[in-house]
């Protein structure tokens, strides 16, 4: 079973996708981690992110390996574990320049399709999450979900993640980062409105378990309707 999940930051996409994969006993692919890994690789090698040709070449050449276990997804470059290094503020700030490089996207999209096929062969299925999985990377996935949440709910969640709290000051600091990034990302892919055939799951009023249950319900409905 191939499951594609898209959504903006703070929608709960990553943690919900992992839990769905665990519940179904299949593998997981975080495609945002690929954009982050490429950013890390370029920064590490001194490749100028404004040098579009060099970044495109790096997208093909980087020795990236991702572990697909949803309980412990890993990101390795050669044999170096960069799972944590790709979450630093430095990478988070720089990743937009990579993700909005239009020639990088088809290269990573091809790597994503290959990774999804390999994981599905190995584990019987895959949950892949990102911004353009339901529309560009895997428009023919068995299940396609757009995970959304109100801006207020997304900011509250991200603020708690980043600052440990969601008071007015922390939310304001988070807003700057999140709203700017989503605006830049949405110039590349449409992840705020569901495309045809994509089911929207709004998690604004759901807790984590409720969000996972809502996505699993879509999976069950789709499986029941399959010929
Ligand atoms: O989901 P994330 O924050 O780890 O994503 C990192 C960056 O990559 C972010 O700028 C959005 C972008 N991205 C993308 O353009 N397409 C995807 N399929 C996944 C992520």
Cα distance between residue 53 and residue 103, in whole Å: 8
| Residue 168: predicted pLDDT | 83
Report residues of the chain scoring pLDDT below 50: none
| Residue 193: predicted pLDDT | 84
Contact 6, 134 (CB under 8 A): yes
Cross-strand bridge partners of residue 148: 202
| Residue 130: predicted pLDDT | 97
Closest Cα partner for 14 from 35, 32, 36? 32
2-225 belongs to which homologous superfamily?
Answer: P-loop containing nucleotide triphosphate hydrolases (3.40.50.300)
| Residue 52: predicted pLDDT | 94
Closest Cα partner for 92 from 51, 36, 45? 36
**Protein residue whose Cα sits closest to atom 6 of ligand 1:** 32
Cα distance between residue 21 and residue 30, in whole Å: 12
CB-ligand 1 contact for 97 (6 Å cutoff): no
Burial category of 121 from C-beta neighbours within 10 Å (exposed 0-12, middle 13-18, buried 19 and up): exposed
Contact 145, 5 (CB under 8 A): yes
Cα distance between residue 99 and residue 105, in whole Å: 7
pLDDT digits (tens, 9 = 90+) for 25-53: 999 999 999 999 999 999 999 999 999 99
CB-ligand 1 contact for 87 (6 Å cutoff): no
Closest Cα partner for 98 from 153, 12, 17, 33? 33
**Whole-number mean pLDDT of the chain?**
93
| Residue 159: predicted pLDDT | 84
CB-ligand 1 contact for 132 (6 Å cutoff): yes
Number of residues that make up the chain: 227
pTM of the model: 0.93
Closest Cα partner for 82 from 28, 45, 126? 45
């Amino acid at each position: 079973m191939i499951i594609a999940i898209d959504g903006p930051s703070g929608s709960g996409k990553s943690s919900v996708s992992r839990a769905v994969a665990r519940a179904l006993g299949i593998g997981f692919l975080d495609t945002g981690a690929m954009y982050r890994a490429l950013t890390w690789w370029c920064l590490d090698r001194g490749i100028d992110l404004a040098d579009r040709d060099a970044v495109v070449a790096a997208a093909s050449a980087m020795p990236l390996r991702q572990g697909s276990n949803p309980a412990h997804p890993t990101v390795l470059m050669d044999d170096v574990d960069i799972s944590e290094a790709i979450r630093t503020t430095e990478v988070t700030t720089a990743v937009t320049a990579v993700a909005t490089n239009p020639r990088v996207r088809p290269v990573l999209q091809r790597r994503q399709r290959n990774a999804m096929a390999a994981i599905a062969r190995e584990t019987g299925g895959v949950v892949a999450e990102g911004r353009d999985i339901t529309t560009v990377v895997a428009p023919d996935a068995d299940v396609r979900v757009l995970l959304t949440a109100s801006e207020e709910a997304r900011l509250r969640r991200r603020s708690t993640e980043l600052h440990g709290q969601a008071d007015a000051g922390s939310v304001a600091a988070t807003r700057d980062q999140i709203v700017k990034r989503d605006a830049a990302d949405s110039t590349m892919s449409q992840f705020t409105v569901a495309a045809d055939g994509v089911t929207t799951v709004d998690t604004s009023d759901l807790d984590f378990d409720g969000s996972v249950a809502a996505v699993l319900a879509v999976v069950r409905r789709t499986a029941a309707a399959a010929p």
